[in-house]
Chain A
Amino acid sequence: MNVLSDNFSLFAKGLWGTVQLTLLAGALSLVVGVIIAGFRVSPVKALRAFGTAWVTVLRNTPLTLLFFAVLLGLPRFGVVLPFRVFAVLALGAYTSAFICEAVRAGINTVPLGQGEAARSLGMTFTQTLSLVVLPQAARSVISPIGSTLIALAKNSAIAGSFSVTELLGTYKPLNELGYSIVWTFVWIAVGYLIVTLTISAVFNLLERKLGVAR
């Protein structure tokens, strides 16, 4: 019962680890996901092919396998980075595939005429996308992106198996110290709830804000 109060700093460290992984990988996945979505709707065939390959590979690879590939594979090519950075890269790349598809679905909800009007005014592809299409896609994309980021927060637990500090991993030392495994997991679950409910709240707010903007 007193597993939380006795080990507060351990829990806090784990929670902070999870929050960091979620924030960094989330930011990375949003940036990469939007760019890849742009690739997938671009008039350049090579970019479209790259985008499709990116999504197909990352969306269909089990995340654990991807972790192995990044953490064990990249060092073989001379890329040696802290495990924490590797974890952010793996989580970010994996999640970016899902973000990309959510954004692409949003782009498809914007009437074709909006893009045509922008192009007829002399806007380049990038301008058309960033000034006209994406702002209008944003409203319909908010909710699925929220879900994807919640999944990311929970997926970050896999990093614990690769000795990166995060919330789920705290159960190991606590178990060794003889604390009740049930209560340990209850408090870990509460920690994840804090993270995921915060994400929900932020995205609800965003949805309401963008919903009235017209």
Chain B
Amino acid sequence: MAREPLIVLSGVNKHFGQLHVLKDIELTIGRGEVVVVIGPSGSGKSTLCRAINRLEPVESGTITIDGEPLPAEGRALARLRADVGMVFQSFNLFAHKTVLQNVMLAPVKVRGRGKAESERHARELLERVGLVAHADKYPAQLSGGQQQRVAIARALAMNPKAMLFDEPTSALDPEMINEVLEVMRQLAEEGMTMVVVTHEMGFARSAAHRVVFMADGRIIEDRVPEEFFTAPESERAKDFLSKILHH
């Protein structure tokens, strides 16, 4: 299935001090593609995800989004980030704003849209994630799963070209994981381009087009989920899967 490339990483390297966290990363994500990144902790998968919108600057290599190379810090970078939604492990909803204000803030201040239009759009998105009844609450009054769904709505409010998910369910109680995955599954079905760093193998199997397996800062395997889960090629992946799938 040939897709038009949307996010392209080429020869990307990054160190944290002595630690070489990303080693010569080559990765192309097509428009409308859902790519799940898995791997043991410390393998560089979160760093990879954060590098795509330059929350982590990289030392060498190029990252392009929709043909445009990532600019250095400044207004151009801000414009580019506005087109790439990001969902964090710790939700990071603005604690001093209500749910509705959280979703409206960036469209009004960054996109310069009208308040009324932004509110209408925000309520639509909250309806979609099933939280319109909580629009006037503060984040601290919501459960983790609800906060994460608001965070997804907040990112969607910018009409992004792609969405990055950095372990979106890792901080959630088990019974709340599914409500978040359900929203993500819907997004995937609607054709959103998604990069998802996760430990949810069920989601990877059912929603992903490709699974990227990382270990020690390298991409070890990059394959269709069914193949990867039933017949992993590398020892590293076999070892990883045997540890997480059999318990």
Pairwise interchain contact B110-A122, C-beta atoms closer than 8 A = yes
Pairwise interchain contact B94-A122, C-beta atoms closer than 8 A = no
Stretch from A98-106, A110-118, A163-171 contacting the other chain: A110-118
Pairwise interchain contact B86-A120, C-beta atoms closer than 8 A = yes
User: How many chain B residues have a CB neighbour from A under 8 Å?
Assistant: 30
User: How many chain A residues have a CB neighbour from B under 8 Å?
Assistant: 20
Q: What residues of chain B lie closer than 8 Å to A124, measured between beta carbons?
A: 75, 78
Pairwise interchain contact B154-A121, C-beta atoms closer than 8 A = yes
Pairwise interchain contact B140-A116, C-beta atoms closer than 8 A = no
Pairwise interchain contact B106-A123, C-beta atoms closer than 8 A = yes
Q: What residues of chain A lie closer than 8 Å to B154, measured between beta carbons?
A: 121
Stretch from A16-24, A130-138, A151-159, A195-203 contacting the other chain: A130-138
- With A and B bound together, what is the CA distance between A84 and B158 in angstroms? 51
Most A CB within 10 A of own CB, among B88, B110, B154: B110
Pairwise interchain contact A135-B82, C-beta atoms closer than 8 A = no
Q: What residues of chain A lie closer than 8 Å to B110, measured between beta carbons?
A: 121-123, 127
With beta carbons under 8 angstroms apart, the residue of B55, B75, B93 that contacts A120 is B55
Q: Is B3 in the interface zone, CB < 8 Å from A?
A: no
Pairwise interchain contact A116-B88, C-beta atoms closer than 8 A = yes
Q: What residues of chain A lie closer than 8 Å to B109, measured between beta carbons?
A: 123, 127, 131
Q: What are 30 A-B interface contacts by the 8 Å CB criterion?
A: A43-B73, A111-B90, A113-B88, A113-B92, A114-B94, A116-B92, A117-B92, A117-B151, A118-B94, A119-B81, A120-B55, A120-B81, A120-B85, A120-B155, A121-B82, A121-B105, A121-B110, A121-B154, A121-B158, A122-B81, A122-B83, A122-B106, A122-B158, A123-B106, A123-B109, A127-B110, A131-B105, A131-B109, A136-B96, A213-B96
